[in-house]
A and B are shown apart, each in its own frame.
Chain A
Amino acid sequence: MAWAARLARLPSWLGLRPRPPAAVLAVAALISLAWSVLLLGLVSMPMASGATPAMAAGPLWICGVPGGAMSMGGGAMGGSGGAASPLQMAAEGMPMWSLMALAMMLPAALPATSHVALNSLQRRRGRAVSEFLVAYLLPWLAFGGLALLLLALLPGQATVMLAAALAIATLWELSPAKRWALNRCHRTSPLPPSGWRASLGATRFGVLHGGACVVSCWPLMLVMAAAPSARLAWCAGLGGVSLAEKLAQRPRRSARRVGMALGLGFVAAALAALSAGV
């Protein structure tokens, strides 16, 4: 199928057409808002001064956070930012991480959001979708906290970390475990119609769906966390990849293609790290 035709059908695949429930439109608006903030933030966000992207001292998450110009393990910024505990550094990265989780991972959750809305009584749609999304995002935030802490604890050059993350992501995409997890992303769980059971049902589906998506996509987010520069480009690219994998009719083939693309990225990052004299 031609790419143009696929793109034209994207809104209906995502449950945005025809006549989407208001709760689904609200989530689409939230996604747009997250992207707007990110795009505007790009202008106002100070880059780690003096560091070329390839030579950045640590992942952008750590050194690029406004007011937190600290570095990891030497390099151009070494020692100039004062000491901060890894926990503190991870905590400072969390607001930006949360924003990016919204921007990257909510689009892939739109079909499930639509499923929750349509399978709830109309008066409960907003509530059910909120309960579902909070539960869906929790595993992502928990993973983000851990990933940032890990990066703050690990000494190393940004490109080396990126290359390592890309290597892990490549292996993961080509593994049977990835296919298993991606399949789990398409399971639903029953949604009782009313009362506490309805809240429990929406929350349980959110945790199951979010959990399955974290298991499926965690190495992509690790790459995101390790990205030393061009954060928005990585965010858009990896978010697009996770969405495409979710919508793919042949998940085995799509995971293989993504794996090969990440493998190429790994080779490029490894070459960059070598040429930088690591």
Chain B
Amino acid sequence: MAGPAKFLRRDIWTLQSDDPIITGYANGVKLLRQRAADKPTSWTYQAAIHGTENAPNKPLWNQCQHGTWFFLPWHRMFLYHFEEIVRAAVIEAGGPHDWALPYWNYGLPGRNATLPLPFRKPKLANGDPNPLFESARASGINSGAALPTQVTSPAIALGRPHFVGAAEFGGGITQAAQFSQQTGRLENTPHNAVHVAVGGPTGLMANILAAALDPIFWLHHANIDRLWTVWVKNGTHKDPTQAEWREHTFKFFDQHGHEVSMKCENVLDPPTDLHYTYEEGVTAPAAIAPKAPPPAPPEGVKVADQIDRPQMVGATAEGIDLVGDPVAVEVPIDAAAAGQLSPAQHVYLNVEDIEGKRNPGVIYGIYVELPADAPADHAALDRVGNLTFFGIEGARSPEGDEHAHGLRGAMDISRFAQELAARGEWGGHSLSVSFVPAGLIPPEEPDPGDAVPASHEHPDTPVRIGRVSVFYDA
């Protein structure tokens, strides 16, 4: 190990609003916005590297990696270079030389789940426009509405034993499967869910092609990056070993506007590789561990191989339209295909062919075998995952430079399946799957101009799920 990292990324909720980290960030954002848009170190250019609707493409625009096992390393590199660019601007504006991006740890209960104060008000104390404010956010966010636990909790992701796989921590191998969106669990929640909850139906954060224009984007991603370091700290968790991941290279611009490239395997230990670390002393929420920890793969066998050839055991015959209300479907489990469920068998729920014109700005929690007398507050109930629709526009964009396909999500439901099998209610029976919208929690003193919509309010954009299915790995 090298010596202590030079730069410390701190929890923004532990800082006073006049902390040089916050004022430095505001000054840096302001400075970047003043630069010509065609300069790689300008605010809009940096956001366009993630995604933009502007055309024609300038060098390195629209590079962001979503729905893939490159999601985490790409965004780590993206943040690293952005932080360098902002630090140079902070220093230029007379700020601290060791400035580092703060992070927004919304996963802790209470005020942490609300938008940090320096981002909420349109004006600074001196009357100048606040560079960190953005009006295009979900209603209620700027007046202190809290994100629900379903949206912010990284517990499901942190409990996944493996990195590789759509139902695992970091996402699936994308080029191996032309027809899958291999979104990993951390990318799904809290990443996608927080994007959509903060952006709402029309805000910047909910749209991949505009998200990085909102200054809170970078603090959200610093937290996602931090959660990756938290997951890795658990001794048994390992980053991918495959050369096609480790040796993959992405390009960015440094603080001088020069193109630079980085390899995934060279960003896996931030303190040594990238000279930053996260503030200690902030406890992460407990991870949800799978009930029966999966056996370790035999020596020499790639983890991904275990789910490369799944076996379908049941699926719905019809699609489901989601319009903002809770919906439950029955997935018939085929008796012959399901057979006797062995205790070591992993069972996955897939939500497939998700299509819609626009992101409705609603997040649905996915529940299996939800009891009929379930309390109205679903926060405490056992969820298997979330449906977030982040990126749904790109999935059907005929003009984009990526292949269009519906979104797809995969989640581990082994413990539910094992319980049903133990009761003799598996093969030949139906699995009940519920989709329940998770709305924002209104602040105690709501701002009349920024009201939180009731969670049952119908979004103008319906979305359709093509099929819900259940798979065994094989």
Residues of A within 8 A of B (CB): 5, 9, 12-13, 15, 18-21, 111-112, 115, 118-123, 176, 179-180, 182-195, 197, 246-247, 249-253
**In the bound complex, do residue B175 and residue A249 qualify as a contact, i.e. CB atoms below 8 Å apart?**
yes
Bound CA–CA A36/B298 (angstroms) = 40
B205-235 vs A: 1/0 string, CB under 8 Å? 0000000000000000000000000000000
Q: Which of B375-400 contact A (CB under 8 A)?
A: 397-400
Q: State how many angstroms separate the Cβ of A8 from the closest Cβ of chain B.
A: 10
Bound CA–CA A84/B453 (angstroms) = 74
**In the bound complex, do residue A13 and residue B403 qualify as a contact, i.e. CB atoms below 8 Å apart?**
no
**In the bound complex, do residue B403 and residue A118 qualify as a contact, i.e. CB atoms below 8 Å apart?**
no
**In the bound complex, do residue A183 and residue B176 qualify as a contact, i.e. CB atoms below 8 Å apart?**
no
Bound CA–CA A122/B334 (angstroms) = 11
**In the bound complex, do residue A193 and residue B308 qualify as a contact, i.e. CB atoms below 8 Å apart?**
no
B315 is contacted by which of A18, A112, A115, A191 (Cβ under 8 Å)?
Answer: A191
- The reply to whether the CB of B311 lies closer than 8 angstroms to some CB of chain A is yes
- By beta carbon, the residue of chain A nearest B304 is A18
**In the bound complex, do residue A193 and residue B332 qualify as a contact, i.e. CB atoms below 8 Å apart?**
yes
Bound CA–CA A191/B466 (angstroms) = 8
Given A112-B179, A121-B337, A247-B178, the answer on whether A186 and B312 have CB atoms closer than 8 Å is no
Residues of B within 8 A of A (CB): 175-176, 178-179, 244, 305, 308-319, 332, 334, 336-337, 352-353, 397-406, 466-467, 469, 474
Bound CA–CA A59/B406 (angstroms) = 41
- What are 29 contact pairs spanning A and B, CB under 8 A? A15-B178, A18-B308, A21-B309, A111-B179, A112-B179, A118-B310, A119-B312, A119-B352, A121-B337, A122-B337, A180-B399, A183-B398, A185-B403, A187-B404, A187-B405, A188-B179, A188-B352, A188-B353, A188-B406, A190-B467, A193-B314, A193-B315, A194-B317, A194-B334, A246-B178, A247-B178, A250-B402, A251-B403, A253-B401
**In the bound complex, do residue A192 and residue B179 qualify as a contact, i.e. CB atoms below 8 Å apart?**
no
B405 is contacted by which of A120, A186, A251 (Cβ under 8 Å)?
Answer: A186
**In the bound complex, do residue B312 and residue A193 qualify as a contact, i.e. CB atoms below 8 Å apart?**
yes
**In the bound complex, do residue B398 and residue A179 qualify as a contact, i.e. CB atoms below 8 Å apart?**
yes
**In the bound complex, do residue B309 and residue A186 qualify as a contact, i.e. CB atoms below 8 Å apart?**
no
Number of A-B pairs, beta carbon distance below 8 Å: 106
- Known: A19-B308, A112-B179; 6 extra A-B contacts, CB below 8 A, are A20-B309, A115-B179, A122-B311, A190-B352, A190-B466, A194-B334
7 closest A-B pairs by CB = A190-B466, A186-B403, A111-B178, A192-B317, A180-B398, A190-B467, A193-B315
When distances are taken between beta carbons in the complex, the residues of chain A under 8 Å from B353 are 188-190
When distances are taken between beta carbons in the complex, the residues of chain A under 8 Å from B474 are 19
When distances are taken between beta carbons in the complex, the residues of chain B under 8 Å from A18 are 305, 308-309
**In the bound complex, do residue B175 and residue A9 qualify as a contact, i.e. CB atoms below 8 Å apart?**
yes
**In the bound complex, do residue B401 and residue A251 qualify as a contact, i.e. CB atoms below 8 Å apart?**
yes
When distances are taken between beta carbons in the complex, the residues of chain B under 8 Å from A193 are 312, 314-317, 332, 334, 469
Bound CA–CA A252/B404 (angstroms) = 13
When distances are taken between beta carbons in the complex, the residues of chain A under 8 Å from B469 are 119, 193
**In the bound complex, do residue A192 and residue B406 qualify as a contact, i.e. CB atoms below 8 Å apart?**
no
Given A188-B353, A192-B317, A193-B315, the answer on whether A252 and B406 have CB atoms closer than 8 Å is no
- By beta carbon, the residue of chain A nearest B57 is A252
Q: State how many angstroms separate the Cβ of B354 from the closest Cβ of chain A.
A: 10
Bound CA–CA A192/B318 (angstroms) = 7
Bound CA–CA A133/B466 (angstroms) = 21
**In the bound complex, do residue B175 and residue A191 qualify as a contact, i.e. CB atoms below 8 Å apart?**
no
Bound CA–CA A111/B176 (angstroms) = 9
Given A13-B176, A186-B179, A187-B404, the answer on whether A192 and B399 have CB atoms closer than 8 Å is no
**In the bound complex, do residue B467 and residue A123 qualify as a contact, i.e. CB atoms below 8 Å apart?**
no
Bound CA–CA A112/B313 (angstroms) = 20
**In the bound complex, do residue B405 and residue A188 qualify as a contact, i.e. CB atoms below 8 Å apart?**
yes
**In the bound complex, do residue A179 and residue B399 qualify as a contact, i.e. CB atoms below 8 Å apart?**
yes
When distances are taken between beta carbons in the complex, the residues of chain B under 8 Å from A183 are 397-398, 400, 403-404
Bound CA–CA A118/B334 (angstroms) = 15
B401 is contacted by which of A15, A118, A191, A250 (Cβ under 8 Å)?
Answer: A250
- By beta carbon, the residue of chain B nearest A182 is B403
Q: State how many angstroms separate the Cβ of B216 from the closest Cβ of chain A.
A: 30
When distances are taken between beta carbons in the complex, the residues of chain B under 8 Å from A252 are 401
When distances are taken between beta carbons in the complex, the residues of chain A under 8 Å from B310 are 118
- By beta carbon, the residue of chain A nearest B331 is A193
Given A13-B175, A187-B404, A194-B334, the answer on whether A118 and B318 have CB atoms closer than 8 Å is no
**In the bound complex, do residue A192 and residue B315 qualify as a contact, i.e. CB atoms below 8 Å apart?**
yes
Bound CA–CA A7/B316 (angstroms) = 37
Q: State how many angstroms separate the Cβ of A11 from the closest Cβ of chain B.
A: 10
Bound CA–CA A153/B314 (angstroms) = 52
**In the bound complex, do residue B309 and residue A118 qualify as a contact, i.e. CB atoms below 8 Å apart?**
yes
- By beta carbon, the residue of chain A nearest B176 is A12
Bound CA–CA A177/B404 (angstroms) = 14
Q: State how many angstroms separate the Cβ of A272 from the closest Cβ of chain B.
A: 35
Bound CA–CA A222/B194 (angstroms) = 49
Q: State how many angstroms separate the Cβ of A225 from the closest Cβ of chain B.
A: 27
When distances are taken between beta carbons in the complex, the residues of chain A under 8 Å from B467 are 190-192
When distances are taken between beta carbons in the complex, the residues of chain A under 8 Å from B352 are 119, 188, 190
Q: State how many angstroms separate the Cβ of B459 from the closest Cβ of chain A.
A: 22
- By beta carbon, the residue of chain A nearest B248 is A1
When distances are taken between beta carbons in the complex, the residues of chain A under 8 Å from B305 are 18
**In the bound complex, do residue A118 and residue B312 qualify as a contact, i.e. CB atoms below 8 Å apart?**
yes
Bound CA–CA A122/B338 (angstroms) = 11
Bound CA–CA A183/B305 (angstroms) = 28
Q: State how many angstroms separate the Cβ of B83 from the closest Cβ of chain A.
A: 28
- By beta carbon, the residue of chain A nearest B350 is A119
Bound CA–CA A201/B317 (angstroms) = 9
When distances are taken between beta carbons in the complex, the residues of chain A under 8 Å from B332 are 193
Q: State how many angstroms separate the Cβ of B404 from the closest Cβ of chain A.
A: 4
Bound CA–CA A19/B473 (angstroms) = 12
A186 is contacted by which of B244, B315, B404, B466 (Cβ under 8 Å)?
Answer: B404
- By beta carbon, the residue of chain A nearest B408 is A188
When distances are taken between beta carbons in the complex, the residues of chain A under 8 Å from B317 are 192-195, 197
- By beta carbon, the residue of chain A nearest B317 is A192
Q: State how many angstroms separate the Cβ of B226 from the closest Cβ of chain A.
A: 30
- By beta carbon, the residue of chain B nearest A184 is B404
When distances are taken between beta carbons in the complex, the residues of chain B under 8 Å from A190 are 319, 352-353, 466-467
Bound CA–CA A12/B302 (angstroms) = 14
- By beta carbon, the residue of chain A nearest B302 is A18
When distances are taken between beta carbons in the complex, the residues of chain B under 8 Å from A189 are 353, 466
**In the bound complex, do residue B399 and residue A176 qualify as a contact, i.e. CB atoms below 8 Å apart?**
yes
- By beta carbon, the residue of chain B nearest A247 is B178
